[in-house]
Structure 1
Amino acid sequence: MKRSTLEFRNLVKEKIVRCVLKNAVRKGDTRILCPCLNCENLEKVLTPDVCVDHLVLRGFVKDYTRWIFHGEPIGISGIEIGRQETREDVNDDDDIKRDRIDSLIDVVQVNFEDEPCVLERLLSDAKKPLYPNCDRFTRLSAVMNLMSLKVENRLSDKSFTALLELLDDMLPEGHVLPKSTYEAKKVMCPIGYDNEKIHACPKDCILYRKKYKDLHKCPKCGTSRYRVKDKDGSCEKKEGSPAKVVWYLPIIPRFKRFFANVNETKKLRWHSEMRKKDGKLRHPADAPQWRTIDRMFPEFGKDCRNLRLGLCTDGMNPFSTLSSQHSTWPVLLCIYNLPPYLCMKRKYLMLLLLIQGPKQPGNDIDVFLEPLIDDLRLFVDEGVMVYDAVAKEDFKLHAILLCTINDFYAYGNLSGYSVKGKKSCPICDQGTIAPWLTYSGKNVYTNYRRFLRRNHPYRRMKKAFNGTVENKMAPIPLEEDEVFQQVKDINVFYGKPNRFEKNAKYKKRSIF
């Protein structure tokens, strides 16, 4: 259709007035970004009539098929522009480089409706050649590869700036590579993961979020939220640095990025579409636990894109010393939908929480898991709308926690079960057999031959074990109602009292 015809003018006017202007009025404005060939949706905010004139005279900006600047939602946002240019120059046999490109030039699932300038700058960097006539790297892909090199080799900001300055002298004139670490990070900022810095009570009583967000002292123990108090000893004013901080990296935007990438989405569907199904246990999808969940929740199991997750946590000393005076707890998440050779790769292990020390959280770790539990409840109860790059559609993603991975003591912290004493086995419960060693002064748990099948040869061995034949059978696991009856009257109080409070309670009990 020619732009000079009256039919074209009426069609454009009708489209702008009915769709674009309607979205602008909803946001409290009567002007819109002009999508003509010269204005290119950048900074010129004009009236609809002027926009119609521009479009008739100049035509639409090239490749503007999804109206993201005029109210149409972003189905897949990010940097697919420039992906083909970069991928064409990657050798198919170079698996390491191809995986690096896949992980770096990822599709970013960010809502830019309120920040069109950020999206425009990001797309511009993805299309802009690194230097004139360069067809191998764009400005964005070059910065992403260099930042990946910085992370993998643990380069300091000073060293990385020196590298960029050296490359500035090597590259031809007219290149657009940043000259400092600060400028490189500004290019990467829209692609970075969001994180939440949550203040916590120093005694692990609460997190200062939701109803406690604006408090300056803990409502349970009265401890100040900040390190520095007022001159009179109170903590009414917001002053000083927080006494304790928890870092939380939300999982929802990270899952959206996974599914917005075609290659990653295919890997997340591998367990259903490409797994070998011959009755042998090669993947968690072959286990009875996986099939039990599909049977109990058929709607969840119907869609192979729904995620099964594993939670991993334990204490560590981040300062690489032999001292045990500091304990920081990272909380990781692994995805079992992936092929077995990728489940535990560093690329797919997601850091969710970083609980700073110096003391371990212990049973109070439930307080720090609140943000993660809220997101997991959202995935279970309502689901999250996610764009599938393979099916090219939006769908409602659900996820469940399939298992936890930890040692026995961390298991006790996560579950709240006592892992010390005679009844420390959560499976055997009251049927735990734990002989006491008088000279060692501890319980030992050695009677686990009863979990073997009835005719197993180990049951008849005497010398290799404790000198007796094992005839006992494994205890029957408790049902849901039996577990509830045991824990229904337990009152949990989070927080760590100080030494004086402990001594006072002990004296009070000893007197009476």
Structure 2
Amino acid sequence: MDRSWMQLHSRRSPQYIDGVREFILFAHDHMKPGADKIWCPCYICNNHIQKAIEEVEIHLYAYGVVTSYTRWVYHGEAFELNDNNDSQNENDDYLDNVTEKSNSPNTEVREVIHDIRSGTTTFGYAGEASSSCNPDLPSSCGGVTNKFARLMRDAEQDLYPDCQRFSKLSFMVKLLHLKIFNRWSNKSLTMLLELLKEELPIGETVPCSYNEEYENEDECPCKAPRYKVRKGKGKKIPHKVLRYFPLKPRLQRLFISRKTAIDMKWHKDKRVEKENVLRHPADSEAWKDFDKKHESFAKDPRNVRLELASNGFNQFGNMSNSYSIWPVFLVPYNLPPWKCMKDPFFMMPLLIPGRMAPGFDIDVFLRPLIDELKELWEVGVKTYNASNGQNFQLRATLLWTINDFPAYGNLSGWSTKGKLACPSCNEDASHQYLHHWKKICYTGHRHFLPHNHVLRQSKAFNGEPERRSEPKLLSGEEVLGQLEHLDSTVFGKTDERGKKQKRSPQYLN
């Protein structure tokens, strides 16, 4: 169907009148059984208001049609682009010439929307959009389909009548980009939006406020659920609230962008390997050894290698010293070194707030993340790859953790205090108690030196030569073997009766 009539300025021309009649017939044929109203695509209603079909026709003659609404998704036309349909291809070519100008911000936004629509399995979009589906109302599937419909509507909607540079969506994306980089407050952005609404021509589509557009969203599966963890039974201790942000959608989004999907294979396709040069984690011995042991995982370079980092900090600075919040970050190391440590690729699956540090209870808080990492390692998740337009089974593994020494003790379970504080020395750690200062001193660092080193024979340090060899580096199997000899441990700070439990000497070294 020729839709060039939608670009005409004269609403009295025969071509425009015939086009409106064709649209009314199309909308009438695709109405749901029993429905008596359709969405009105005139400049005033802009697919926000449902009216009787006769009233919609009058509005189109009186106010004109939204020129960017060239795919009638609210009146029965499918979202999908049918590349095999010649008439559809001709229409798409026409739309490209009309709505996508060179250097237009709309071009990049349209590509992103197309990639998101192609990867429907990634975000769980279900069902087809229909003319009776209001993009602003919640749906039974959590509002995900309706949110995508809103994106489609905003991407096809002019910022103001006959605007050739921006759609509503591309303009808001630019504004939010400026807001983030310049640290505008929500209030300052709302004031700017109010000014723009007064300045732009009649028919503008700028939202009235930041809250109107982005705060009153429907419930989304990506919002972090709150897990309550009880720290003691029978005690007046408040529940500790854990916020967990699912990891799988974060990893899937890395492949929904074509550029990022290509960069996720940089470590395999573009990395230049040189002997004795470490420029990327893929050059490390740990990465190479992992590839040898797990060939099926290493065969697909899209599989993600992750690093975990966590520590506590006081977000209130000097105003409060009695509060500690623990974020847990994950970083994908598939990306180039100049990207993998940037903010856009940091993932925060866990946020543990509270007045006290989690301590050894962190193993309880990490449970949702550990379960999801196990699933990603053993099964994976179906993911759409925008670089080639195909789905694949994405897997992930955790290769490293980065943290300071006290946090290392909490995350690993090895106590970094006491007589056996050194995890490298393990059971061979040497110590000396200084009675005058009532401190423990660790004196065995010389056994890391070569056997013929002069300081090994010196008695100037503690009055004795050092004849021990360097401690053996334990494998994962040997560490698990040591754990089997420990007494049964109840995780957390309290036992099954709610009483504060003491760690066994073996657990605390």
Query: Matches of 1:470 and 1:192 in 2, distance apart?
Result: 62
Query: Matches of 1:405 and 1:327 in 2, distance apart?
Result: 19
Letter in 2 for 1:372: L
Query: Matches of 1:481 and 1:504 in 2, distance apart?
Result: 28
Letter in 2 for 1:45: K
Query: Matches of 1:43 and 1:361 in 2, distance apart?
Result: 58
Q: 1:368 aligned to 2:397?
A: no
Q: 1:172 aligned to 2:201?
A: yes
Query: Matches of 1:199 and 1:410 in 2, distance apart?
Result: 22
Q: Residue in 1 aligned with 2:86?
A: none
SS at match of 2:337: coil
Query: Matches of 1:449 and 1:304 in 2, distance apart?
Result: 42
1:65 to 81, 85, 97: 81
Alpha carbons of structure 1 residues 362 and 64: separation in structure 2 relative to 1, 3 Å: closer
TM-score under structure 1 length normalisation: 0.68
- Deviation at 1:103? 10
Query: Matches of 1:349 and 1:316 in 2, distance apart?
Result: 17
2:31 to 44, 50, 54: 44
Q: 1:331 aligned to 2:328?
A: yes
Letter in 2 for 1:195: K
Q: 1:250 aligned to 2:246?
A: yes
1:278 to 260, 274, 279: 274
1:350 to 347, 350, 361: 347
Report if the CA contact (8 A) 1:379-1:398 is conserved: yes
Alpha carbons of structure 1 residues 453 and 338: separation in structure 2 relative to 1, 3 Å: farther
- Deviation at 1:328? 0.9
C-alpha distance after superposition, 1:236-277 (max 9, x if no partner): xxxxxxx43211111111111110110111111110001011
Query: Matches of 2:454 and 2:158 in 1, distance apart?
Result: 70
- Deviation at 1:403? 0.8
Gaps of 5+ in 1: 1-35, 48-58, 68-80, 91-97, 206-220, 228-242, 507-512
- Deviation at 1:459? 6.6
SS at match of 1:317: coil
Q: Residue in 2 aligned with 1:111?
A: 124
Q: 1:476 aligned to 2:472?
A: yes
Query: Matches of 1:371 and 1:470 in 2, distance apart?
Result: 46
Q: 1:401 aligned to 2:398?
A: yes
TM-score under structure 2 length normalisation: 0.69
C-alpha distance after superposition, 1:296-348 (max 9, x if no partner): 11100100000110111111112122643111111111111111122221111
Alpha carbons of structure 1 residues 244 and 63: separation in structure 2 relative to 1, 3 Å: closer
> For 1:232-243, what aligned pairs fall within 5 Å after superposition?
243=239
Alpha carbons of structure 1 residues 105 and 496: separation in structure 2 relative to 1, 3 Å: farther
2:103 to 78, 81, 88: 88
Letter in 1 for 2:184: L
Query: Matches of 1:200 and 1:276 in 2, distance apart?
Result: 47
Query: Matches of 2:372 and 2:28 in 1, distance apart?
Result: 36
Report if the CA contact (8 A) 1:104-1:145 is conserved: no
Report if the CA contact (8 A) 2:115-2:386 is conserved: no
Report if the CA contact (8 A) 2:364-2:492 is conserved: no
- Deviation at 1:497? 4.7
Q: Residue in 2 aligned with 1:197?
A: 225
Query: Matches of 1:479 and 1:223 in 2, distance apart?
Result: 42
Alpha carbons of structure 1 residues 190 and 199: separation in structure 2 relative to 1, 3 Å: closer
Query: Matches of 2:435 and 2:458 in 1, distance apart?
Result: 25
SS at match of 2:400: strand
Letter in 2 for 1:172: P
Query: Matches of 2:405 and 2:354 in 1, distance apart?
Result: 20
Query: Matches of 2:487 and 2:31 in 1, distance apart?
Result: 64
Query: Matches of 2:213 and 2:249 in 1, distance apart?
Result: 23
Report if the CA contact (8 A) 1:308-1:400 is conserved: yes
Q: Residue in 1 aligned with 2:167?
A: 138
C-alpha distance after superposition, 1:88-137 (max 9, x if no partner): 347xxxxxxx9x99999984742221473413322121122212232332
Gaps of 5+ in 2: 1-22, 35-74, 84-95, 134-145, 504-509
Q: 1:485 aligned to 2:481?
A: yes
Alpha carbons of structure 1 residues 102 and 422: separation in structure 2 relative to 1, 3 Å: farther
Report if the CA contact (8 A) 1:126-1:141 is conserved: yes
Alpha carbons of structure 1 residues 86 and 195: separation in structure 2 relative to 1, 3 Å: farther
Query: Matches of 1:333 and 1:302 in 2, distance apart?
Result: 23
C-alpha distance after superposition, 1:475-503 (max 9, x if no partner): 112344542332123323234359x9879
